[in-house]
């Protein structure tokens, strides 16, 4: 994508005030380094509603027990070659109202500047990203008849998104549109779009 599509897939890195990202290896929230290449996570908040809040002034280390969705996202970011990921629940100080509102106003820039957005377009309450670290995908039907095997086709990306609770939220549409590259984790398969 970056090598073959030229300027269409290049994202200019805007200056984002007080941008914090998660260092996936150290599992800490850190100020974004200059020209930081990071992934972002787009998901429905109810999927991590039990996640403890992180006061970034008190502790920058992520909790030892986090929702499977967050754990999978850190692992996927690393597998894609990104050391940093932006997840609103942890990168926006939820206890500091002033900083929180400033960061929310910059979310368009945050998603536009991300090198890739990991989209959790799965079930209402998944245990993680489908296909990552043990979260199963839906069964792919096939039937053997004599010398022939009939295999059902996988749904299109449009259908998979339409069936997802992720598509029912207004802000996720903004996150999708602003992201230059998207990796969708659905119950059926993983889709890539740029």
The model's pLDDT over 70-126, given as tens digits with 9 standing for 90+, comes to: 999 999 999 999 999 999 989 998 888 988 898 888 988 998 999 999 988 876 655
pLDDT at 23 over 60: yes
In our burial notation (b when 16+ CB lie closer than 10 A, e otherwise), range 24-35 reads beeebbeebeee
Q: With respect to residue 164, please indicate whether it lies within any of the assigned structural domains.
A: yes
Per the CB < 8 A criterion, the answer to whether 84 and 36 are in contact is yes
Quick check: is 2 in a domain? no
Q: Residue range 148-176: average pLDDT?
A: 76
Residue 136 lies in a domain: yes
Q: Is residue 62 part of a domain?
A: yes
pTM: 0.83
84 part of a folded domain: yes
Q: Are 48 and 69 in contact (CB under 8 A)?
A: yes
The domain containing residue 148 runs over which residues? 11-193
Residue 5 lies in a domain: no
Number of domains in the chain: 1
Confidence of residue 20 (pLDDT cuts 50, 70, 90): very high
Question: 130 with 185: CB under 8 angstroms?
Answer: yes
Distance, CA of 1 to CA of 3 (rounded, Å) = 5
* 6 in a structural domain: no
């Amino acid at each position: 994508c970056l090598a073959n599509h030229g300027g269409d897939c290049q994202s200019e890195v805007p200056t984002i005030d007080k941008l914090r990202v998660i260092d996936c290896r150290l599992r800490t929230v850190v100020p974004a380094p200059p020209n930081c290449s990071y992934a972002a996570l787009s998901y429905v908040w109810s999927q991590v509603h039990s996640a403890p809040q992180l006061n970034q002034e008190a502790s920058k280390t992520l909790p030892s027990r986090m929702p499977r969705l967050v754990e999978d996202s850190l692992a996927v970011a690393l597998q894609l070659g990104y050391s940093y990921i932006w997840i609103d629940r942890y990168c926006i100080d939820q206890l500091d109202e002033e900083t929180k509102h400033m960061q929310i106003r910059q979310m368009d820039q945050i998603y536009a500047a991300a090198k890739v957005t990991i989209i959790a377009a799965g079930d209402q309450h998944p245990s993680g990203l489908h296909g990552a670290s043990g979260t199963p995908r839906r069964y792919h039907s096939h039937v053997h008849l004599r010398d022939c095997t009939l295999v059902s086709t996988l749904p299109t990306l449009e259908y998979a998104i339409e069936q997802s609770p992720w598509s029912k939220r207004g802000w996720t549409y903004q996150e999708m549109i602003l992201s230059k590259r998207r990796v969708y984790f659905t119950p059926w398969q993983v889709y890539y779009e740029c």
